Amino acid sequence: MIFRFVKILAAAASLILLYWAERRRGVDADASALPSRLRRTLDDLGGSFIKIGQALSMRPDLFPEAYLRQLRDLREHARPFSTQEAKPELEHALARPLGDVFRSFDSEPFAAASIAQVHHATLPDGKDVIVKIRRPHMRERIDGDMRILVAVARLAGTAIPSLRRLQLERLACEIWSNLRRETDLLQEARNIRRFCEAYKQRTDVYVPEAIEALCRESILVQVMSHGRSIEDPAVVQDGPRIAGVLVDFYLEQLLKNGLFHGDPHPGNLFLMEDGRICFHDFGLVGYLDRTTRRNLRLFLQAFVQQDAGWMLDAAIELSLIDRTADRALFVPGIEEILSDYSSLPLKDWSIADAFLRVMRLGDGAHVVVPYNLMVLVRALFLIEGCLRRLDPDFNVLDNLIAKGEAAIADTLGGSPERAAMARLKTELALSAQDLPALLASLLHRAHQYGKEPALGLRIGHSEEIERRLDRRAGLLALALLSAGLLVASALLAQVNAGPHVLGMPAAALIGFALAIWLCLRVARSARSLWQG
């Protein structure tokens, strides 16, 4: 442990000294040797530090592209551990002899990485499976390395004030937590089950199921599958079709279900004999909740519509930009991004790059981007790389518009008025979608504060202010609300979605009824106001 601490500390000191030396000499960032030195240092430290480097490669909000490029080049190359270590690890985890669990078990692994290695085996019923075994004492090594790294990060932040912006100690703790999750093979088995259930209706994608009864924190048993790497020249001949399937599948993951594979590099994807794409390695999985998925759709629409203001609103809602930020400082940056894309062919547009550039606006000050969005950006970069490898002429944006949801469809091109109407329709539809929750909240407040629905503004501990509120302002607010409900209900009637009552969508009918009730209330109140 002491030797490991000294080795890590010496590696960190050499990086800090190089940083200081380059600062003193005024070395330009593009000519800096630090990015390549960082990658080699992490590679030399091995084990958990390779995973740390891969985690850092998902932080484009903190590190320049030169660092990210080097960190993405980290490869997990590790010698397999011996059968004398693998078998006791299996028997200890399963609490029974190996022969009672498997009909056969290949002693030699067919794949090995810094965290685990994979063996072929056969179950008693004849089913071929793969057995992924975490390296013995790997969790203890990760915990030991990360404790040292947290201490070094704290020291570096104290010694170099300019590094405090990166919040290195918090970043190290975040990586530690995520690393423990990614190396929990029982959690990976659960991720596999969630994918199998979520996408079981798809006939063009395959996820080999995990045998959860045999899975443990240090062991994953999964159905064996066969196929060719998507980098195989024979597979590339079918590239355009495969690229289309990948786009369609990721749109479903990101915009519909929210559960997505976070590490779609070519080593985790292959083509089966029946033409299905098989996904492997579910240690890194992201999830986007309903609100985030909705904001992601808005971001994509604004990107396609080239609407800087709308794109900024969506970026703020996604936490890519601080809510307290001065809008005037960010709109020109987004307009520059959109201007750069407008001069490119559509096939060269990159959603991942647009995300990255928006995240870097304002130098990332005071913004802590959620972990799942970091996984999303990594996945987008990897999937776009796969798409262009499969089909160099693949048009990501065209496929996004053609295969995306109706909210994204038919948004390419058109006049500014058309773009404005697209935004208006979307925002009104979203407001109508939120209407039931708003009404439920108002009814709840009515129960709290009296029998009448609390449609007005209530300010706690300020009854005197409430009594002085101008009735005319209240009437104006109700009038605007009723007008908005009428427009939103009309749009819902055009969409013609959901259950129907009297030949009209139920949501639209409720909206019209509520709008009419509000109009009548406004009319009665206005008449009494005039008479008074």
Cβ 358 vs Cβ 322: under 8 Å: no
Q: Could you report how far apart the first and last alpha carbons of the chain are, in Å?
A: 85
Q: Are residues 396 and 254 in the same domain?
A: yes
Q: What whole-number distance in Å separates Cα of residue 270 and Cα of residue 367?
A: 37
Neighbouring C-beta atoms of residue 515, cutoff 10 Å: 20
Q: What whole-number distance in Å separates Cα of residue 515 and Cα of residue 484?
A: 8
Name the residue range of residue 238's domain: 229-413
Nearest residue to 294 via CA among 260, 258, 259, 261 = 258
Residue 437 within any structural domain of the chain: yes
Cβ 524 vs Cβ 475: under 8 Å: no
Task: Kindly list the distances between the CA atom of residue 222 and the CA atoms of 102, 122, 192, 204, 292, in Å, as whole numbers in the listed order.
Answer: 13, 11, 9, 20, 31
Q: Are residues 143 and 244 in the same domain?
A: no
Residue 198 within any structural domain of the chain: no
* Helical spans, DSSP H, in 343-458: 351-359, 371-390, 396-403, 416-449
Residue 281 within any structural domain of the chain: yes
pLDDT digits (tens, 9 = 90+) for 99-139: 899 999 998 888 887 788 899 999 999 999 999 999 888 88
Q: Are residues 302 and 402 in the same domain?
A: yes
Domain boundary among 392, 413, 434: 413
Residue 339 within any structural domain of the chain: yes
Residue with tokens 């975040």: 174
Strand partners, 286: 260
Residue 193 within any structural domain of the chain: no
Q: Are residues 269 and 378 in the same domain?
A: yes
Token pair in block for residue 229? 């790497």
pTM: 0.69
DSSP string, 355-376: HHHHHTGGGGTT----HHHHHH
Q: Are residues 162 and 281 in the same domain?
A: no
Structural domains counted in the chain: 3
Q: Are residues 336 and 393 in the same domain?
A: yes
Cβ 306 vs Cβ 338: under 8 Å: yes
Domain boundary among 413, 439, 462: 413
Q: Are residues 431 and 409 in the same domain?
A: no
Residue 326 within any structural domain of the chain: yes
Q: What whole-number distance in Å separates Cα of residue 268 and Cα of residue 261?
A: 10
Q: Are residues 301 and 355 in the same domain?
A: yes
Token pair in block for residue 510? 């409720």
Q: Could you tell me how far CA 445 lies from the centroid of its own chain?
A: 35
Angle at 68 between CA 63 and CA 74, to 5 degrees: 135
Nearest residue to 55 via CA among 74, 40, 36 = 74
Q: Are residues 34 and 174 in the same domain?
A: yes
Q: Is 142 helix (H, G, I), strand (E, B) or coil?
A: helix
What integer pLDDT is reported at residue 531 of this predicted model?
57
Q: Are residues 304 and 453 in the same domain?
A: no
Task: Kindly list the distances between the CA atom of residue 352 and the CA atoms of 147, 181, 369, in Å, as whole numbers in the listed order.
Answer: 33, 25, 15
Q: What whole-number distance in Å separates Cα of residue 277 and Cα of residue 269?
A: 7
Cβ 42 vs Cβ 49: under 8 Å: yes
Question: β-strands 277-279, 228-229: how paired?
Answer: unpaired
Residue 103 within any structural domain of the chain: no
Question: β-strands 205-206, 277-279: how paired?
Answer: parallel
Q: What whole-number distance in Å separates Cα of residue 146 and Cα of residue 49?
A: 9
Residue 386 within any structural domain of the chain: yes
pLDDT digits (tens, 9 = 90+) for 428-476: 555 555 555 555 555 555 555 555 544 444 545 455 444 444 565 566 6
Q: Are residues 347 and 458 in the same domain?
A: no
Domain boundary among 413, 441, 460: 413
Q: Are residues 465 and 320 in the same domain?
A: no
pLDDT digits (tens, 9 = 90+) for 201-252: 899 999 999 999 999 999 999 999 988 988 888 887 888 899 889 988 998 8
Nearest residue to 45 via CA among 5, 18, 82 = 5
Query: Is the torsion defined by CA of 454, 457, 462, 466 positive or negative?
Result: negative
Q: Which residues of the chain have pLDDT under 70?
A: 1, 47, 60-62, 75-78, 162-166, 346, 362-368, 397-488, 490-498, 501-503, 522, 525-532
